[in-house]
Chain A
């Protein structure tokens, strides 16, 4: 077979077309990552402010007018923290960031299927981010109805509180834009995975990261349209006087609202039909990364690769059947409650498959404890401890007691928040050498890991106990309620733990920017890994493979194959090229 002359595509020359309105999936991936990093800094600052208030409710804060934070201001912090973290960090970084950068390379494609759409998707996300940030500075300030924006609170306008005017409108616009951008992104991911794979890259030779991004994209495609529809209807309720979500006779501040017959539950159904898959949109890429990194640093194949891929699909599928478990206390027929409960607990099956297969991957391995590996191990730990409490919450009888308490806050922060963030960190430390050609600093990385890992447990384990003791969530001041006063010292403890953990993230930020210039230089395949992104130059050229597109001959995790000279066989190595030891 003769070599085909390949027209090497021209690099765009102008700064704008190269770095701003770039159609290169790698640049777009980094743009997404930078957006997520900005968002996470803001989100963490908001949570530090909340913890400050929760620990010391009577402390005078210099930046709050009047000195004392009002409950409304607390609610605004809570809303913005949740919104920014869920949408602009947990959805954006793993999928838009790492997915964009590495999915095409890992399947041997020159780019995403639709590069222009990809660029559009980022810039619409950027617009969404700008509009949510503008909500901080408009009259009335940021919205106060939580990241779930439950109606009727979110549907009536200024009358329901500061921030419910323009701030809430901006929230809806931002989220609707975000939905549009995510739909475009999801379409691109799916089409790319289906049609752009290299020769030999069958579905069951795809790295588990690709499986994670692919299934996440399917979830996004099916879920974001539903939230978009909900957003449109909510916007009309607020600005055009319709009554989709606002019941008749709603009275706010002694005023009867001019709405009739709407259903607040309808909003909850639309929201959670999106909202539950969203949880998996945040965590599935992390699962893929964890499997990938565990296998690489254990120098062993992923245990039960097909079961792992199947479990990702099963979790994605079941994720659409369980949205009702967020609404057990909203008024639900016991029969549907039971159905949602059983479906929810059945997610434990694929989750357990994943967990045991991760342990199986580690079993008897000579583990290399580099920073990415530590974060992948941390991911498994947090996923288990955060996930187990989900089984309690899945039962309506238990959930009735715990739903409005900190138990739920602790549960979802561990499993959806911190675990997903650990997936992001593992990915960052792992792929940094490929993206920027240098390693991140190892001792700093380990310091970052231990502070974050221990810190996360110190914040969120006591939070479970606060919840079981009846500590109600969303309350701004535990000192103001008699039966909650005894829990105040626990809040002080959690706040201190939160400050230390938040401060430890400076290790990461410093490491990230310092290593760009001063990190140790990395070779093309510094981890001796097997997947295609390590077969190309560092950083990858514009078309990812410099015109020499790989063929794939084997599965993604061929580590420590008996009789082979090296302990890894990259996917693009043909059987004839594999170095073998002499028969003994």
Chain B
């Protein structure tokens, strides 16, 4: 753009919005969808890569929230006279749930690969499988709560059970959002956000929630 009039003929799409020398340039290829103007004729469009940035940043905030809870767990457990008693039961279904969630990450990765290869049918199939696995995980978590409750272990029974419920509830709420997002990619076309980007963003979120659960699960087992 150098040497041209500054205010007359600048395109509204900024493929390298960082500008010359921008530190954060590039990285917007390969997300499957089209780039640039949105067809709806609304406001000037946002580069698709911004959604990736937004999700990355947002996950940073989510991570801080969970790390605060985890720090509280470690501090509270280490208190003198903490009254801490390890969870009296650890239902086997939690292992199954963990396996289901891990599997969902693999089906998701597979689905994403098919999308990028242009195989719409396979993509929809495996994306649907992922959604169902996510739903099973949530149901499994509720069953695990039921097992705890029938063993007389409630939120306020012991600090260890308090943290168990807090971790699973906070993670579960985030995962409900994840399942809804998976469904949205399948059923609701978007205007500003291409489906390729939507798929990328939701994948990031889902894998993050998966790894986060594995971390919390290990903390609950190894740190009890």
Contacts and interface: CB of A to CB of B under 8 A. Distances in A.
A3 B12 contact: no
B6 A577 contact: yes
B83 A260 contact: yes
B76 A263 contact: yes
Range of interface residues on chain A? 35 or more
A197 B17 contact: yes
Interface string B1-27: 111111111111010111111111000
Interface stretch (B58-66, B130-138, B139-147): B58-66
Nearest to B20: A200
A187 B57 CA distance: 6
Interface residues of B, number: 59
Most buried by A among B6, B22, B46, B54: B6
B72 A113 contact: no
Contacts of B72: 229-230, 233, 244, 266, 270
A2 B8 CA distance: 9
B155 interface: yes
Contact of A199 (B19, B162, B166): B19
Contact of A111 (B23, B43, B64): B43
Contact of A226 (B60, B68, B76, B84): B68
B159 A244 contact: yes
Contacts of A270: 68, 71-72
Contacts of A121: none
A3 B69 contact: no
A542 B159 CA distance: 53
Interface stretch (A79-87, A356-364, A367-375, A545-553): A545-553
Main secondary structure of the interface of B (DSSP, over half): loop
A256 interface: no
Interface stretch (A235-243, A468-476, A505-513): A235-243
Given A6-B12, A110-B12, A270-B72, A196 B50 contact: yes
Interface string B59-102: 01111111111011001100101111000000000000000000
B61 to A, nearest CB: 5
A235 B138 CA distance: 24
B42 A226 contact: no
Contacts of A251: none
B152 interface: no
A190 B57 contact: yes
A95 to B, nearest CB: 15
B40 to A, nearest CB: 10
Nearest to A551: B1
A401 interface: no
Nearest to B48: A195
Interface of B: 1-12, 14, 16-24, 41-44, 46-47, 49-50, 53-54, 57-58, 60-69, 71-72, 75-76, 79, 81-84, 155-156, 159, 162, 166, 170
Closest CB pairs A-B (n = 10): A261-B83, A229-B68, A225-B65, A241-B156, A225-B64, A3-B9, A226-B68, A110-B44, A195-B50, A191-B54
13 contacts: A9-B44, A183-B61, A187-B54, A195-B46, A195-B47, A202-B19, A221-B61, A221-B64, A222-B61, A225-B62, A262-B159, A574-B2, A577-B6
Given A4-B9, A266-B72, 16 more contacts: A6-B12, A110-B44, A111-B44, A113-B46, A115-B43, A190-B53, A194-B53, A195-B24, A201-B19, A222-B60, A225-B64, A233-B69, A236-B155, A261-B83, A548-B7, A551-B19
